[in-house]
Every structure is written in C-alpha cells, then in structure tokens.
Structure 1
C-alpha cells in the first residue's frame, strides 16, 4: 500500500519580494503612519525639552480631536468615491449658531443642537443626492453649497459674532479638564468613543457594508442590491452632521463666533484622510483617519517648534502626502478589480 503525500501549493506570499510583502502588510495595518507618528512625537518632546503630559501630549490630543471629528465625515464621503468641500461651512454653522443663539439669545442648547443637525443633514444630504442624481462634480457642488450656507448665516444677522459658548461646553473642550478623574480632556474621551462607534458602524453593520460596496463601484453595488444614491445621500448628510458637531464643540473652545473657523479644518482634514491611507484604495476606515489627524497635528507642532515659514510648512505637508501616496498609489482600486 502506498501513501500519497501532498506538497502544499506555493502561495503568492512565497514569490513576493520583502518590499512587496511589507507593502502588503502596510495595506492591512497602518505601520508607516504609526512609525511617523511616534517619530514626530519623540522629536517634539526632545526639541521642547519637556515631555510631560500637560505640556506635550495633552495639547496634541486636544487639537487632534477637533481635526479628527471634522475629518470623520470626509472619510465617509471619500470611501464612497466623493469629496466634500462644504465641511468648513457646516463647522461655521455649528460655531455661529451656538455662540449666538445660546450666548446672546439664551436659547436652550438642545434646541440649538437640533437646529444645527437639521441644517447640516438637509444641506449635506441634498448635496449628495444632487451629485449622484445628475452625475455632477462633488467639488463644484460642495463648494457652491459652502458659499450658500456661510452667506445665509453671515448675511442674516450681524450679531452672530458677538456670543460665546455655554460654560459647560467651555469646560468640556478645555485642556486642563479631566474625565472622571482621569487626566484626559473630555473632548479627547468623546473623540475616542466617537471613533469606536464609527468603526463599529463601518466594519460590523449592514450600513457600513453598503458604504464600502457603493465605493467599490456601481456594478458591485447593483449586484448586492444596494442603492448607491441613498448611500451617497446618507454619506454626505453624515459628513455635514459631523462637521456641524465639530463646529458646536469649537464654540466652547473658541472665545466667540468666527466665520473663518472652518478653514483651519478643511484642507488639514483632507490631509488627515490622505495621510491615514483611507483615500488610496485598499481597506479604508476611520481609525486610519484618526492616525492621520494625530500626524497632521503633531507635524504642526514640529513646524511651530522650528519656527518654519508658511511656505516651508507647505513643503513639509506636501512631502508627507507624496510619501503616503507613493506607498499606496500602485495598488489598483477595488472598483477597478470588479
């Protein structure tokens, strides 16, 4: 009696070079982003000569939390294949309405929050529906919507810039506040919970699967019975809502209303998504954007420590984005494989 022995079939991994294997691992895990973040934090700590929590980590996490929340919606929109340049306007809407209606008119904060949510969901959802229904360029539509939202807010009332956020919101966004005795600013703890919730929705729910299918391409979505128009509408509505949330939180962090507050989070938010790796194909998710937000924020600290000019700062940001794009750029997008 003879026995047959089977030799294992050669796998694709065996034929790959070390660089290709590393690139494959990077697509599954954001190793490069983690290395960059650790290196930047260590650099800032050494350059400042003080590595204490209050003087280094707390301000980085605080500023990254605002950027991460503002970039959360952009992540969803990019995952479906769109782009949202109206985020800055909805940040302004949340900021101005809270500082004016709560600070000046003494409205109930809950009522103002609902008003902000309604404006954001309606405006963002309409942009997404419009882009998908008529195959319009998202960049143009969202820029137009941004102009409309800010124009209506600023033109309707000149007193919008005179108020301030409620006291509890100022404490919530204060760097020196703690969370149930832990030395973590409440806004940072909130960001962690939000990141966990978004991650669960994206990776563990039918809604998240529909979003990934819509981003993979119309063919994949149609085969799965997914309405891409509804997904686009929902993604843009969520993007605007999350931007409005960031604006509401910034009302507590800032001293008053600011029509330019959103500009500080539009392109840095997009950079956070790109640097995190979500925009480049493969498996995108919000945790990568959180890493990107931490990297962008820490890089701003590096620029500040070295007293770099605005032009030099642009070069640094551009070089970082090119590095990440070069790493992911050769991989075919999922929609190109279907």
Structure 2
C-alpha cells in the first residue's frame, strides 16, 4: 500500500483518487474548498463534478494542504494549469521530504510556453522533488469513475519513475502503458484541446462527419508538426496521448472543450460560454499559447490560427471556416516529410 495525495478535486482528480483508493492505496484528495472536502469525506460524493457517482469509502479528503500531503510518497497534481505554480510554491513550505510527482493536467503556459512538467521543475525545490511523471491519454472522468475500460500512458525521463506510477494506477479497468517521450505526451495532451474546441465549433455550425474527420486528421498534423519542432518523437502522436486523446475529446459530449466549442459555433460569445461552463476549459488558454509557439517556431498551424481569431479577435466561426477551405492547394504528404 502506497500513501498518495491527489491535489485538485475536480472531475479528473476525483476519478483518479477513486482509482487509487480502489486499488488499496492510502489516498487523500485535497480540495481548496472546505465544504467540498467534507462532502467527499463524509458523503463519498462529489456532486458538482461527478453527479451520481459514489466514491470509495476508504478515500479521504482534506482542505488543508499540509495535512493532505503529510507522509505521502507520491503526489498527483490534478489542478488546472493556471494554478500549478501557486500550488508548487505552497508545497515547498509544507513538504518535509522528497516525493515523486505525477501530473495529469493538460496545457501549455501562455507567454512562457512552458509545458507543465517544466513549470513544476521551475517552481518545486529540488529537495522535495524526486522526479516528475506525466499521465495522459483518452480518459473521460465520467467513464473512469464507473470503471469502464480506460487506457492511458505515463511518461518520464526516468523509467523506474514511470513504472512506479504505472503500478500505482494499473487495474483491470484502468490499463497504463509507459513512454519515455515526455515532450510528446505533454504536447499531445495539451494541443488536442484546441482541436476539440474546433470540432465543437463545426458541430455547432451544423457541419457533418466529413468536416469532423478532416478536422481531426489535419489537427493531428498540426499537433505533430509543432511537437516534432519541440523535440518530440513523431510516433508518440499516433499513440494514446496523441491520436487516442484527440479522438475521444473531439467526439464526446463529456468533453468540456467540445461543449464550449459547440456553444461558440451556435453563436455564443467566449464570455458567455465560460460563464455557463462552470469548469475550466483548458483549450482556450492553450490556444493562445500554441498560437504564440507556432509563430516562434515557424510552424504553420492554420486550425489553431483560425480558432485564435474566433476566441480572441472576435471573428465569426463561419468566416474562418471559409478561409480554411479556400487556402492554396497543397500536397498532403508534404506535412509528413519532416517527421522522420
């Protein structure tokens, strides 16, 4: 039995904490809100994020960060990307010894263009951080909490660290592979949210499966181009944290990014969409970061550019679709030439 702390009691953090508790580990879920922590600990529910789900009786919860991480040998970071830096700084003052970190957030920090593991490495004191493992893949919390078959990838620079997290989560309904391409796994997990937003927009506009299939395929090309430019292995994007995560996020009503895009396609403003969601829509922030990165790296990302124009420049979705469809003729395999 391993003592684990999961930081962040949203849908994904709660679902992963439930997996860990069901696997027999001593797991504490940290929430910033006292009332939410009390609901999880006493009622074994988290109605705001996973309505109707019953959590394991053995799962603990606490609103006090120092108590939540006390004695933990592994900490799972499940807070939104914009909160990573603050939580890491807070951990520096409460952790007494080195622990292994696993993060499950999917995003890129705007302006700095840092991946989540890079942000954590920058903020965490070396004395408390044994290493950082990334967990990513096609995994809706709403299905994980019901023990529906799910498969993900964990990536780390240190193979043994990846295997420790693999062993921690692995069970009959939650299968975990290992990978050594941290850059690729993080980039795939972050950028798929952009394409999911765009897929929601096309559905909101009333387009069909042809448009969505093209969007997913060309979206994968964009993700791979940028990922390879940043040092990723192109094969990673054909795997669970690339194509797998892209498919599930672009095609499911569970996806908050798809839902947000769908409302945009139906004519709502970005502010209206974010106000109605009640949860973080990571793709919005990531679109800004990826747009900046594409310019910096000289990587063409027309779908990302179109979505950026809709989100931040007030352009109409249908106008950007027309621009995408009217671009100059190209050879499809030209995009593949530089990946090997």
TM over 0.5: no
Greater C-alpha Rg: 1
Task: Say which structure is richer in helix.
Answer: 1
Task: Say which structure is richer in strand.
Answer: 2
TM norm structure 2: 0.25
TM norm structure 1: 0.26
